[in-house]
Amino acid sequence: MDFQLSDDQRALRAGMRELLTGRFGRDRMRAALDAGVAVDRGMWGELGAAGFFALRLAEADGGVGLGLPESVLLFEEAGRVLLPGPLAATHLAAGAVGAVKGAADGGAVVAVLDEGRPVAHLEAADALIALGPVRPGGVARVLEGDVLRELVRTARPVRSLDPLTPLHRVTAGVEDGVPLPGATPLRLEGALLAAAEQLGSAARTTEMAVQHAREREQFGSPIGAFQAVKHLCAQMLVRAEVARTAVYAAAVTADPAEIAGAKLLADEAAVHNARDCLQVHGGMGFTWEADVHLHLKRAWLRAGEWLRAAEAEEALAADLCRVHACDAGDL
Amino acid sequence: MDLADTDEEREFRARLREWLAAVLPGLPAKPGPDDWPGRRAYDTAWQRMLYDVGYAGLHWPVDAGGRGATPTQHLIFLEETERAGAPYVGANFVGLLHAGPTIAAEGTAGQRARWLPPVLRGDEIWCQGFSEPEAGSDLASLRTRAVRDGDHYVVTGQKIWTSHAEVADWCELLVRTDPAAPKHRGISWLAMRMDAPGVTVRPLRTLAGSTEFAEMFLDEVRVPVSHRVGAENDGWRVTMVTLSFERGTAFVGEVVACRRTLSALAAEVRRSGRWDDPVLRRTLGRLNAEFRALWRLTQWNVAEAQRSGGVPGTGGSVFKLRYSQARQELYDAAAEVLGADGADLDREWVLDRLTSLSYTIAAGTSQIQQNIVAERILGLPKGR
Ligand SMILES: Cc1cc2nc3c(=O)[nH]c(=O)nc-3n(C[C@H](O)[C@H](O)[C@H](O)COP(=O)(O)OP(=O)(O)OC[C@H]3O[C@@H](n4cnc5c(N)ncnc54)[C@H](O)[C@@H]3O)c2cc1C
């Protein structure tokens, strides 16, 4: 056992951080926000060129040939900088050979259709992946061309909570479209990648809170010297670090219950940490100008995607019975 | 990131399992919580069995009589012994995890030869005399005095919350040797015989009803100067060596046990026909996420210690904060599962619910742990 990042994994993560700092620093992020452009095709292509989407596609198929552990490291970085767009869906489409042309190299944008939920980034999407039901064995489908155009035509925009995640209500069902080849557990893998983004966000808001607590002075001392503030920050770190090991371990084992646990804890960490970060920032935290609200809004949205708390907890409860020989017949 | 055993680790695990399967059925029944002589005999007999086959002091350095095992092997040992339902370290705790490692790290050759082998063999039990009535979280403000008299210290003062004091042969004692120095600089670490004249132990009853710890009154107890470990007035640093061991692999077995308890709770809910209660089900599901993650965090911290050459880091504080809370939530859930039987002390889990209350206090309270995380890991300014 050596449950720590390898040198290659560290290098991969550092490379992605560098790319994102250069290509999607805070100024670019705020510019995208002001312009209302969530998916920038140019950057999508650069992410593709850097292997963000083709990471897990076999080298023989033109991919990078790495695994889930490497993917979660990249998605963690994306979560840190609030990188918008349907990253997980495009990554998953790229991993399923030939499912959507152009997904692997960042030429195509692939979004998600999950029954009963609004669709994010519909207008930018070249294809949709319709997730099967939450229960195991649900088949995913791909919606493209005329089917997609018809769906877009009848869709109604939603005024989105998260300014960098445009949403639409659609009428199509998850039975439309062409079944995806293979039986990849898309919902679970999507949940894990989203959990990694939540982890990145939770770690970032911890850093933001700590930095502010060191600099802001009241009553003649940095507010970080007050225990009430200090303990908020300490609990933020605890949440982020517990989520980190849950996400990394789930990426190594790909165990469904472990993935459910990772999503549950990472959602909680991202949402709770963003709220605490807001509190530590005082009035500044309530402004549009501070980035805190963007982390919180994105975290709220992601918590409602792929696998929600209730579904994760049910999966984890069922797991307690499965593993440990209590009668599974009457589940 | 690798969670699988190496070939060596797999072999180590397999041999250990085989041995446990062979010896555990032959163990005598566990003594009751208030049968202290029985508990001592039970715990030391187990330690002796470990010693005889070479599992004693697994994580101790070889030159201290240990096996020099890697942190991962130690983790496997704790995991497997717990899984198999083997006895817990019990009364050997301070000797094996606090005093022993301190002596191994800071003691002279003579001190190591005198004190370490009996700990490994289960011949001698140690207790920890750190806390005082006026020095708890602020341990460095301790007042128990030690005055030089020739080649002895004369020790007078009072200790409190001393676990296993009733059965201990030795006490790792923190005393003030220089009252004029700043509080951290006037402390020394002594090994004191518990049967020395002037030592009075008065058991304290815990809220669980048994006597897990005691008050200790020291009235001009003579301790040879040769029983001091480390330099005079350097005891605080020596102590920190001990405390950092307290936050390493100390909870491996317990996390494994908590996961087993959680499964047993799920089985009990189904047996009693309450599995269709979504609140109860989701509570258990959430705890499953929690303890799975705590297990992974343990492995993460151990792997980190392994890479850094065995030094446990501050990650232990992050772990302890979350674990102590999760353990209390686990037994609150158990009470929910037990329903009306949650008031019956003879039902499984009820006593554990009571003892779980000590986890946010003992070995550094949760407030102190949060200070440590905020100041030492996050670098926030020290406050009051
Ligand atoms: C089951 C058990 C076994 C123990 N075994 C031993 C043993 O074998 N040997 C031994 O020496 N000791 C032992 N202890 C003692 C233990 O280490 C102390 O209880 C602990 O360090 C807290 O000290 P205290 O009880 O004096 O509480 P206090 O320090 O008085 O704390 C009271 C409250 O004030 C808070 N507080 C104190 N200081 C601060 C601060 N700076 N910032 C914020 N909050 C603060 C604490 O968090 C706590 O909530 C044991 C304790 C228990 C419960």
Are B194 and B274 part of one and the same domain? no
B282 CB neighbours in chain A (<8 A) are: 310, 313-314, 317
3-class secondary-structure state, position A119: strand
- State both tokens at A107: 């030429």
Give strand ranges (E) for chain B.
Answer: 126-129, 145-149, 152-163, 170-176, 187-193, 199-204, 213-224, 228-229
Write the DSSP symbol of residue B138. Answer: S
Distance CA A74, CA B2 (A): 18
Q: How far apart are CA A23 and CA A49, in angstroms?
A: 13
Q: Looking at the structure, give the CATH architecture of the domain made up of residues A7-181.
A: Orthogonal Bundle (1.10)
Ligand 1 touching residue B355 (CB < 6 A): no
* pLDDT digits 0-9 by tens, A239-251: 999 999 999 999 9
Q: Structure tokens of B55?
A: 């599992």
B257 domain-assigned: yes
Q: What integer pLDDT is reported at residue B218 of this predicted model?
A: 98
Kind of pairing between the strands at A167-169 and A156-158: antiparallel
Q: What is the pLDDT of residue A172?
A: 67
d(CA A276, CA A206): 9
Whether B242 maps to a domain, the answer reads no
DSSP string, A70-112: HHHHHHHHHHHTT--S-HHHHHHHHHSTTSSTTTTTTSS-EEE
Share of chain A above pLDDT 90, in %: 83
Q: How far apart are CA B38 and CA B93, in angstroms?
A: 16
- Would you say residue B46 lies in a domain? yes
- What are the boundaries of each domain within chain A? 7-181, 185-323
Give me the mean pLDDT over the A126-148 stretch.
81
A129 beta partners: A112, A142
Q: Which CATH number fits the domain that encloses residue B292?
A: 1.20.140.10
Please judge whether A227 and B371 are an interchain contact, meaning their C-beta atoms are less than 8 angstroms apart: yes
Q: How many helices (H) and strands (E) does chain A have?
A: 11, 9
CB A188 within 8 A of CB A307: yes
Residues B276 and B336 in one domain: yes
- A301-317 mean pLDDT: 97
Q: What is the pTM of this model?
A: 0.95
Decide whether any atom of ligand 1 lies within 6 Å of the B92 Cβ: no
| B306 within 8 A of B347, measured Cβ to Cβ | no
Angle between helices A186-215 and A256-281 (to 10 degrees): 30
Q: CATH code at B172?
A: 2.40.110.10
Superfamily of domain A185-323: Butyryl-CoA Dehydrogenase, subunit A, domain 3 (1.20.140.10)
Active-site annotation of B, residues: 246
Q: Which of B62, B88, B114 is the last residue of a domain?
A: B88
Q: Are residues B373 and B260 in the same domain?
A: yes
Q: Residue A1's closest CA among A269, A181, A293, A249?
A: A249
For B285, name the nearest residue in chain A, comparing CA atoms only: A317
Looking at the structure, tell me whether residues B27 and B63 fall in a common domain: yes
Burial of B309 (0-12, 13-18, 19+ CB in 10 A): exposed
Among A225, A316, A321, select the one facing B270 at the smallest CB separation: A321
> What confidence score (pLDDT) does residue A326 get?
41
Whether residues B15 and B56 fall in one domain: yes
Task: Tell me which residue range forms the domain holding B312.
Answer: 251-377
pLDDT of residue A185: 80
C-beta neighbour count of B240 within 10 angstroms:
12
Measured between beta carbons, the chain A residues lying within 8 angstroms of B380 are: 210, 213-214, 222, 224-225, 229-230, 233
One domain for residues B175 and B259: no
A238: nearest CB among B299, B304, B321: B321
Inter-chain CB proximity A258 and B371 less than 8 Å: no
Q: Is B136 in the pocket of ligand 1 (CB under 6 A)?
A: yes
State how many domains chain B has.
3
Asked if ipTM goes beyond 0.90, one says yes
In this structure, the strands spanning B187-193 and B170-176 are antiparallel
Task: Considering only the beta carbons, identify the residue of B282, B296, B370 that sits closest to A249.
Answer: B296
Indicate whether A116 pLDDT > 90: no
DSSP state of A61: G
Q: Which of A37-46, A70-79, A177-186 has the lowest mean pLDDT?
A: A177-186
Q: Are residues B224 and B133 in the same domain?
A: yes
Residue A167: its H or E element = strand A167-169
Does B167 map to a domain?
yes
Digit-by-digit pLDDT tens for chain B (384 residues) are 999 999 999 999 999 999 999 999 999 999 988 899 999 999 999 999 999 999 999 988 899 999 988 889 999 999 999 999 999 999 999 999 889 999 999 999 999 999 999 999 999 999 999 999 999 999 999 999 999 999 999 999 999 999 999 999 999 999 999 999 999 999 999 999 999 999 999 999 999 998 999 999 999 999 999 999 999 999 999 988 766 554 467 789 999 999 999 999 999 999 999 999 999 999 999 999 999 999 999 999 999 888 887 555 668 899 999 999 999 999 999 999 999 999 999 999 999 999 999 999 998 999 999 999 999 999 999 976
Does the beta carbon of B362 sit less than 6 angstroms from any atom of ligand 1? yes
Shortest Cα distance, chain A CAs vs residue B39, angstroms: 31
Q: State the pLDDT at residue B384.
A: 60
C-alpha triplet A173, A174, A175: angle, nearest 5°: 90
The per-residue pLDDT for range A140-179, each reduced to its tens digit, is 889 999 999 999 999 999 999 999 999 999 986 656 777 7
Residues 6 or more apart whose CB falls under 8 angstroms from that of B331 comprise: B349, B352, B353, B356
Residues B290 and B216 both lie in one domain: no
